[in-house]
Amino acid sequence: MLVETARFWQDLGFYSEIKGGKFCIRGVTGPDEYTTVVDNNTYTNMMARENLTYAAVTVNCMKKEEPEKYWELVHNTKLKELEVDEWLAAASAMYLPYDTKKGIHPQDDTFLTLQKWDFTHTPPDKYPLLLHYHPLVIYRHQVVKQADVVLAMFLLGDEFSLEQKKRNFDFYDPITTGDSSLSVGIQSILAAEVGYIDKAAKYAAFSMLMDISDLGGNVKDGCHIAAMGATWMNLVYGFAGMRDSWASYPFTPMPRKVSNRSNSVCGYGVEYWKSL
């Protein structure tokens, strides 16, 4: 599986002269469904780099420590040693968009050039946007349906400093609509990490109450399984602050008191969403 997925990324990307010889991946869609078919989506490129690196490390480890299994792999996949070197080269040269002026990672090559969505004049009954606006209207704007760069900062947290996480979160959180139940759980975890305790509690409550309180008005069509999973993640990764980085599993718990209004995350969430 690692061999074939690494081959996929190697074939999909290319070394771009205009990007200084960096390895680029064009024409993809990242987690954000409101921004499609873009070049160098930060999340996608980071995950491709992780895949390429891990595949190469695993194959080289097999060759050294499990030679019989390695040669079986070579036979079954027609793997050549040159391929492994190519994966490492592509991973090392992977292009990641970065805006030095804002100090953030743009979601893709052109995201910062898009027109900003007019949230001020978008009434509540026009959400979720995908039910009220043509996709081509949404695609032309700087608006996010669900965590994209924020998701990358959670899954590959060691690749970002705390300052970078905060700057990226501050930029993307206000333009993320919450139109997807997949998003708030991840936003809650990152909010907790960068110190936005009340916001972390609000997002966690939204994820937890998605089906219990039918916040989306569509529980009759089925449960939001991802939101349920995010509730567990909020507790373990968000409030308990666990991170998994290779063989290390550190914990950095959030402060117990999440708001002056309530010490209970659940109680705070119910009160908050009733006020909307």
Catalytic annotation, pick one of 4, 17, 33, 72: 33
Which amino acid, one-letter code, is at 233? M
| Paired residues of 22 in beta bridges | 16
Q: For helices 184-194 and 197-212, what crossing angle results, to 10°?
A: 160
Contact 29, 35 (CB under 8 A): yes
User: Which residue's entry shows tokens 């980085």?
Assistant: 245
Which amino acid, one-letter code, is at 133? Y
Kindly give the residue spans of alpha helices, DSSP state H, lying in the chain. Answer: 2-12, 42-65, 67-77, 81-92, 135-139, 149-155, 162-172, 184-194, 197-212, 225-233, 265-274
**Strand pairing category for 115-116 and 141-142:** parallel
What residue ranges in 188-272 does DSSP mark as E strands? none
Identify whether 33 is a catalytic site residue: yes
Contact 271, 205 (CB under 8 A): no
Residues acting as catalytic residues: 33
